[in-house]
Amino acid sequence: MEPSLRQMRYFIAAARSGQISRAARELSVSQSAITTAVRQLEDIVGCALFRRRVHGVTLTHNGTIFLEHANRVLAAVDEAVRAPRNTLSQLDGRLRLAMTYTVAGYFLPAYLERFSRTYPHIDLQPLETTRSEIEAGLASGEYDIAVVLTSNIVDQEWLDFETLFRSPRRLWVPTSHHLLKKDDIQLSDVAKEPYIMLTVDEASNTTQRYWHQAGCRPKTLMRTSSVEAVRSMVANGMGVTILSDMVYRPWSLEGLRVEAVSLASLVPTMDVGLVWAITVELSPPARAFADFLRTSLARDRQAIF
């Protein structure tokens, strides 16, 4: 028996959301449909893909490997669907595309590769820099368009943006942490734990805002600009953190497990999208990239969300 694309889509949705119920809501299907699809996949591959826990599901080591391949399969199918139309495109020109650190490291690379194959005659020039430098570069015409964390954008009358992707934030804890046994985890519970604070891409500013709104303060043990340092510190039991699913990976560089669980407290999502200067007309390559990213994410959302 071969796995179906629907089974892989349901599996990916459960893996990304961390909860069967949430995956079912986002895909507008029943929980039993997700559960059945996952069990069928596990029967086909001959091993467990998820660990079932009180707060949801987490990937096993084999599940992590399968997720990587499943994402590639669905990306290939998406490319095959677009290929007949894309081969007719001879659009050329230069695309100066700016992006922030988190976008460059955890979101955009696969889409850049697919865009380059779709539009081989466009001279793609990607650049990673800070949000403030991107805003200045868009205003001056140094960059054509950018992909940033739109949840960090401060209102600018000369900028326009479009959010394309919202990534939930969850609590990261080491395996066997006592909070895993708690049904409803509040920020007040997290405030009692040593906290590893990520600082890159204005992460600490965002964190402090929702902590302040909740009337709590994190007990910060360490501040770092490295996501991998945060992951390793959490996995080794030095503290906990709250970060988005987009940067979540279940294993630290040392091979230790990191668990991600949903919070009962309201925590804002981390949003990703396009930003451009309304005072500068978008070039044809920039419009093509914007349309490509919108279409690709809409298709991928069927599999992921």
Q: How confident is the model at residue 195 (pLDDT cuts 50, 70, 90)?
A: very high
Predicted pLDDT of residue 83: 58
Q: Which residues of 132-167 are buried (b: 16+ CB within 10 A; e: fewer)?
A: ebbbebbeeeebbbbbbbbbbbeeeeebebeebbbb
Summarize the confidence of residues 160-188 as an average pLDDT: 92
Summarize the confidence of residues 94-102 as an average pLDDT: 97
pLDDT at 54 over 80: no
In terms of phi and psi (left: phi > 0; alpha: psi -120 to 50; beta: otherwise), the region of 201 is left
Burial class (CB in 10 A: 0-12, 13-18, 19+), 216: middle
Here the tokens at position 277 are 């200067």
* pLDDT one-digit tens code per residue, 233-287: 999 999 999 999 999 988 898 989 899 998 998 899 999 999 999 988 899 999 9
* Rounded-to-integer distance, Cα 271 and Cα 243, Å: 12
Q: Which residues of 223-236 are buried (b: 16+ CB within 10 A; e: fewer)?
A: ebeebeebbbbbbe
Amino acid identity of residue 140, one-letter, is S
Predicted pLDDT of residue 77: 77
Q: Taking CA 21 as the corner, what is the angle to CA 15 and CA 26, rounded to the nearest 5 degrees?
A: 75
Domains along the sequence of the chain with CATH? 5-81 (1.10.10.10), 91-165+279-304 (3.40.190.10), 169-268 (3.40.190.10)
Predicted pLDDT of residue 304: 41
Predicted pLDDT of residue 305: 37
Summarize the confidence of residues 49-76 as an average pLDDT: 84
Predicted pLDDT of residue 303: 43
